Amino acid sequence: MHRYLFWFAGVIAAGASLVGPLANAAHTSFSFHMTGHLLLGMLAPLLLLHGKPLTLVMRGLPTQSARRLSRLLNSQFIAVASHPASTALLNFGGLFILYRTDLFVLMHQSTGVYALVHIHILLAGYMFTWSILYTDLTAHRHSFRLRAAVLVVALASHKVLAKLLYAMLPAGITTSDGQMGALIMYYGGDVIDLALIILFCYSWYKATAPGRITRAV
Amino acid sequence: MASKKQEIADETARKLQKQNFWSGVLFGIGSMAFVDEVIFHQLLQWHHFYDLATPQIGIFADGLLNSFAWVAAIGGLFMFADLRRRHAVRLRYWIASVLMGAGGFQLFDGIIDHKVFRTHQVRYQVELWPYDLSWNLFGAALLIAGVFLAKSAKERRSA
């Protein structure tokens, strides 16, 4: 039951950033754009992940297809793509490209680019959250130490980008609106980071319980 | 056979003592960063989110330090919880480690962050050196208090 709730809360968070009043305001205001970005790229992935969609798919599929899916998940490609370092690069590297090149201006001129960018933000956010927390089914596991290191660097790059934005805004944004947006990105990001870090540490706490056989990573 | 058992017990004890130390140090680092944020950024507003004069390397170093401090504070507390459920908390030694972590962080912030990377200064539009001096002396005092407390905790245990 709680998985339903998480999933629908995630859908609502993503939906709120894409349609409705917030999305409309985001076209003209950078602060609202950034609020939507936090919902779509950070909060929605965290909620959706706790709906454990992959576990559900694996259980629901007929054996033959489930085997095929599991072969795919175990493949070399997924091993590389789902490595925490790659998902972090995909997620935060994408953000640097969005805000530090002309892509941000381009995005507001073309619907196609707009759609692609937003799909990327949601998916990259999801992949990153998944590769750090492992809440859902995970084929390729990495040590807590490695994931903690990636987490620190990734969250740092989010903070760095927020400060760079504060100093140098993309074209066509007023200073006060842009600086407010950068502050929202920094401190709003902190709040969701906090949830992410607590969940990550809690998973360590559970995994290292005394008397529990250490799981092969 | 008995000595083998003793060896394993010693090894576990060493590991748990190390965990006491690291749990305290990490929590100390994290809580000091938090205190800095609340007192100097939010309440006094001596230094800010970003002063627009910080070089790029400073922004990067500061971001890394801040996100590490978040993870350290929470990770340190979870390690403490782990020690509790193993009945292995050594409170004096742990508090000493917190002091060492907090003092070490304060010194690092004061010397490396403020002076080497020049991320930001303690305060603006004032004579800076008294602020720098008290900032770093406070850090050193915490660090030294931590070292002495750790020593006394060790002596009490072996006595």
pLDDT band at B1 (very low <50, low <70, confident <90, very high): low
Measuring CA to CA, which residue among A138, A170, A116, A53 is closest to residue A44? Answer: A53
List the single residue in B60, B70, B77 with the smallest CB-CB distance to A193.
B70
Residue B144: inside a domain: yes
Q: Centre a 10 Å sphere on the Cβ of residue A187 and count the other Cβ atoms it contains.
A: 11
Of the partner residues B63, B70, B82, the one whose CB lies closest to the CB of residue A208: B82
User: Is residue B131 one of the residues assigned to a domain?
Assistant: yes
On whether residue B4 sits in a domain, the answer given is no
The DSSP letter of residue A47 is H
One-letter amino acid for residue B114 of the chain: H
- Could you tell me what percent of chain A has a pLDDT over 90? 61
Note the pTM of the prediction, 2 decimals: 0.86
**pLDDT attached to residue A216:** 47
CB A114 within 8 A of CB A37: no
Residue with token string 């707009």: A114
Q: Does B71 sit within 8 Å of A194, measured CB to CB?
A: no
**Helices assigned H by DSSP within B37-90:** 56-85
B15 within some domain = no
Q: Chain B closest CA to A107's CA: distance in Å?
A: 27
Backbone CA torsion sign across A93, A97, A99, A100: positive
Residues 6+ positions from B31 with CB-CB distance below 8 Å: B73, B98, B102
Contacts of B55 in chain A (CB under 8 A): none
How close does chain A come to B78, measured CA to CA in Å? 6
Select the more confidently predicted residue: B114 or B150.
B150
Report the chain A residue with the minimal C-alpha distance to residue B70.
A194
Backbone Cα Rg of chain A: 18
The contact set of B with A (CB < 8 A) is 49-50, 52, 54, 59-60, 62-64, 66-68, 70-71, 74-75, 77-78, 81-82, 85-86
User: Nearest Cβ partner of B59 from A148, A163, A210?
Assistant: A163
Domain residue limits at B124: 23-153
- Nearest Cα of chain A lies from the Cα of B81 at a distance, in angstroms, of 8
In a domain, B7, yes or no: no
pLDDT digits (tens, 9 = 90+) for A157-201: 999 999 888 888 887 788 888 889 998 999 999 999 999 999 999
Average predicted confidence (pLDDT) for chain A:
90
Where does the pLDDT of residue A217 fall: very low under 50, low under 70, confident under 90, or very high at 90 and above? very low
The residue that leads in pLDDT, A37 or B52, is A37
Q: Examine residue B10 and state whether it is found in any structural domain, yes or no.
A: no
B60 vs A148: CB contact, 8 Å cut-off? no
Strand residues in B36-151 grouped as ranges (E): none
Domain count, chain B: 1
User: Distance between CA atoms of A50 and A59, rounded to whole angstroms?
Assistant: 16
User: Does residue B105 form part of some domain?
Assistant: yes
Place of tokens 């205190």: B35
Other residues' Cβ atoms within 10 Å of the Cβ of residue B35: 13
What amino acid is encoded at A18 in this protein? L
The C-alpha atoms of residue A14 and residue A11 are separated, in whole angstroms, by: 5
Q: Do B49 and A186 touch (CB under 8 A)?
A: yes
User: B149 near B95, Cβ under 8 Å?
Assistant: yes
Predicted local distance difference test score (pLDDT) of residue B2: 65
Tokens read off for A79: 């091993």
B114 in any annotated domain: yes
Minimal CA separation from A185 to chain B, in Å? 12
| For range B33-47, the mean pLDDT | 80
Indicate the range of A29-33, A156-160, B30-34, B40-44 predicted with least confidence. Answer: B40-44
- In chain B, what residues touch A206 (CB-CB under 8 Å)? none
Interatomic CA distance for residues B82 and B18, integer angstroms: 13
